[in-house]
Amino acid sequence: DADVTQTPRNRITKTGKRIMLECSQTKGHDRMYWYRQDPGLGLRLIYYSFDVKDINKGEISDGYSVSRQAQAKFSLSLESAIPNQTALYFCATSDFSGDKNIQYFGAGTRLSVL
Amino acid sequence: SQKIEQNSEALNIQEGKTATLTCNYTNYSPAYLQWYRQDPGRGPVFLLLIRENEKEKRKERLKVTFDTTLKQSLFHITASQPADSATYLCALASGGYNKLIFGAGTRLAVHP
């Protein structure tokens, strides 16, 4: 089984709908991240969490919210989806051992907002 | 603002040749730099990390250099194979190591 699991893998929704993307990990890492990837723009950080009680905004947090339900679970919500949120979304974890911050990614969720 | 640039054009090379990918950055002094590989439909996978006080790092057929004066890292794949075809991303430590800033990636295509 994958160490970092994202669900769903694909999602099509309509403008104005609320949706949630889920991420769970079995790596035992404290740190979890949500990124979006757009062609030509690379990975951009939406939110990150260093433990259950610590949530931080990233570069592009507007229009998104997150919840860290447990050490192993970190979900991303779009309260009212809009077409420019169509993108590939990735969850990642890291254990920050030795200050390396090596990140382990899930397989991604492809989201289309119509 | 901090900026990372990777060649947006795909790099096409012949099998057996050395592939060289470039990562340039501005307005930044990262403590380390990482390289990831991303295949279509998959998340990035970590390959190598090089620190600011290291000039070169090797792992099997992979070699990374880090020139803090030029603000540039080069990623080399020697004796390239079609299986090396993928997009390669560079990433810099940011925010006191708490975050990574990623480049947009360069797609490498190795032809038989």
Residue-wise pLDDT tens digits, A5-35: 999 999 999 999 999 999 999 999 999 999 9
Contact status of B41 with chain A (Cβ, < 8 Å): yes
CA distance readout (Å), A21 to A66, A93, B11? 9, 15, 34
What pLDDT was estimated at residue A20?
98
pLDDT at A52 over 80: yes
Subunit contact B99:A45, Cβ cutoff 8 A: yes
Subunit contact A101:B100, Cβ cutoff 8 A: yes
What pLDDT was estimated at residue B110?
97
pLDDT at A97 over 90: no
Highest mean pLDDT among A96-100, B13-17, B52-56: B13-17
* Phi, psi (degrees; rounded to nearest 5) at A99: 60, 20
Scan for tokens 């993108």, then name that residue.
A87
pLDDT at A73 over 80: yes
Least Cα separation, residue A90 to chain B (angstroms): 7
Give the residue with greater pLDDT, B8 vs A94.
Answer: A94
**CA nearest to B8, candidates B112, B108, B104:** B104
Q: What is the band of B58 on the pLDDT scale with cuts at 50, 70, 90?
A: very high
Amino acid at position B51, single letter: R
Average of per-residue pLDDT values in chain B: 92
What pLDDT was estimated at residue B95?
65
Q: What is the band of A98 on the pLDDT scale with cuts at 50, 70, 90?
A: low
Say what the alpha-carbon torsion angle A54, B97, A39, A105 is, to the nearest 10 degrees.
Answer: -60
pLDDT at B111 over 90: yes
Contact status of A58 with chain B (Cβ, < 8 Å): yes
Span B60-75, average pLDDT: 94
What pLDDT was estimated at residue B97?
65
Subunit contact B98:A101, Cβ cutoff 8 A: yes
Subunit contact A42:B93, Cβ cutoff 8 A: no
Q: What is the band of B29 on the pLDDT scale with cuts at 50, 70, 90?
A: confident
Give DSSP secondary structure letters for B56-112: EEEETTEEEEEETTTTEEEEEESS--GGG-EEEEEEEEETTTTEEEE---EEEEEE-
pLDDT per position as a tens digit, B73-108: 999 999 999 999 999 999 998 766 678 999 999 999
Q: Which chain A residues are closer than 8 Å to B89 by Cβ?
A: 42-43
